[in-house]
Amino acid sequence: MQLPQPFRRIEYHEILTATQNFDESLVIGKGGFGKVYKGNIINGQSFVVAAIKRLDLESSQGPEEFWAEVKMLSGLCHRNIVSLLGFCIHEHERILVYEYMSNGTLDFHLHKIDAQVSWLRRLNICLGAAHGLRYLHNDVGIDSGIIHRDFKSSNILLHESWTAKISDFGLSKTCPTNQSSTHVNTNVKGTFGYLDPKYFETGMLTRKSDVYAFGVVLLEVLCRKCAVEKLPNGEARNLAAWAQNYIKEGNFKHIIDSDIRGEMSPKCLKEFVRIAERCLHDNPKQRPTMAGVVVTLESILALQEKFNKSLQPIDTRTIFGRMVDMLPFASNGENFGKGDSRPTVNEFRFDDLEKATREFNPNLLLGEGRSGKVFLGWVDQNTLAASKKGGGMAVAIKRFKQEHFPHEYEWLQIIDFIWYQEPSSSFEQS
């Protein structure tokens, strides 16, 4: 939670000064409401950078939506909800002034620019937005919550720290919180592609309508495709329907954004797809609550962070310990004392190691230190000859850099070190 922000009525001359008389060069966004300008506004004792949203007189969103947003945001206070600094009314002008989000919208980063957004960052953005929706649904008041009604990627603003903040409350409605099934009868409004089919069909708006829209955003993040996409043949493709067809077939790879395929934990992907599918369930009662979504996304994020740590470069101080775990061991006690078990160290030809690592393929890199790189390879369990990928026995193969290539006596020290370690040594724990 964050402390309440100063909220005031801003004079029109302040708006004109901040926007340089609505100079087009200061426009940072456009929507159904109108244009958004970047400008400096007095907030308390200092100037702050603000986003200034001016109602277009020809917009379908009029005074009703304007006052709805003022009323909603004046009572909200959460780190994942955008802060309203003030508003301005002058003749026919209706203007809202928000805190400025330097990283724009999630929609902008996914669909408007060719910039990479890491999978971990996307997960954090989803979790932040989920926290915001959970707050709206459950924590705004004792007896009532808020249904956003127009939740979408273009209404998720990104702070300079990449914290997600939900914006645009012009279509929002209050809703009793004592029952999850409680609904509001209202004219159907929102954005195609994100609209809950059940709400569209019946006009009964529930918090589960926001959950459906959140599921669409999850697919946007995963696939990097628009909620409704125009195809070359002129037809429109609905992302939710398109993606769910592949999900039902178990064909996740076909829908994943190619930029993040190599970053994802398989288990994380499976759980992420599962929660998206649950959010999009045809029956609103079968969809999770946003509180449940938050818990699930937190566990998914933890899985991904654990997976990322496992991919970090291997510490060269323990590299031989890691290699020992993957080397063949004599288990018959033939060359050692009864019950003893020590590594059998073999000499490999360079050609065989090339084959085992697919010519030291970068995709098989396990780690890298100052002295060299460690690659994953496969050898036959009995003959130790190079085998097919995934077949035989997995081994770690360290290729030294030329400047760190050990002399013969160093090799002997290494072999001796491995040879004389007891099976219960620290190597097996490293």
pLDDT digits (tens, 9 = 90+) for 340-357: 445 567 778 888 888 888
Q: Annotated binding site for ATP, which residues?
A: 53, 398
Beta bridge partners of 102: none
In whole numbers, what is the pLDDT of the chain averaged over residues? Answer: 82
Return the number of other C-beta atoms located less than 10 Å from residue 313's C-beta: 12
Pick one of 2.40.50, 3.30.200, 1.10.3470, 3.30.110 as the CATH number of 316-429: 3.30.200
The answer to which of 113-122, 253-262, 352-361, 369-378 has the lowest mean pLDDT is 369-378
Provide CATH code, domain 1-100: 3.30.200.20
> In the chain, where does the domain assigned CATH 1.10.510.10 lie?
101-311
- Amino acid 241 reads A
Burial of 243 (0-12, 13-18, 19+ CB in 10 A): buried
282 neighbors 209 (Cβ within 8 angstroms)? no
Q: How many angstroms from the chain centroid is the CA of residue 22?
A: 35
- Site of tokens 């369930």: 281
- Amino acid 38 reads K
> In the chain, where does the domain assigned CATH 3.30.200.20 lie?
1-100
Q: Is the pLDDT of residue 58 over 70?
A: yes
Taking Cα atoms as reference points, which of 423, 375, 366, 367 lies closest to residue 397? 375
The answer to which of 145-159, 242-256, 268-282, 293-307 has the lowest mean pLDDT is 242-256
207 neighbors 137 (Cβ within 8 angstroms)? yes
Return the number of other C-beta atoms located less than 10 Å from residue 152's C-beta: 22
Pick one of 1.50.10.20, 1.20.120.340, 3.30.465.10, 1.10.510.10 as the CATH number of 101-311: 1.10.510.10
210 neighbors 137 (Cβ within 8 angstroms)? yes
**Torsion angles phi and psi, residue 38, rounded to 5:** -100, 130
**Active site positions, annotated:** 150
Which H or E element spans position 131? helix 119-138
pLDDT digits (tens, 9 = 90+) for 176-231: 765 555 667 778 888 999 999 999 999 999 999 999 999 999 999 999 999 999 88
181 neighbors 242 (Cβ within 8 angstroms)? no
- Site of tokens 């620290």: 426
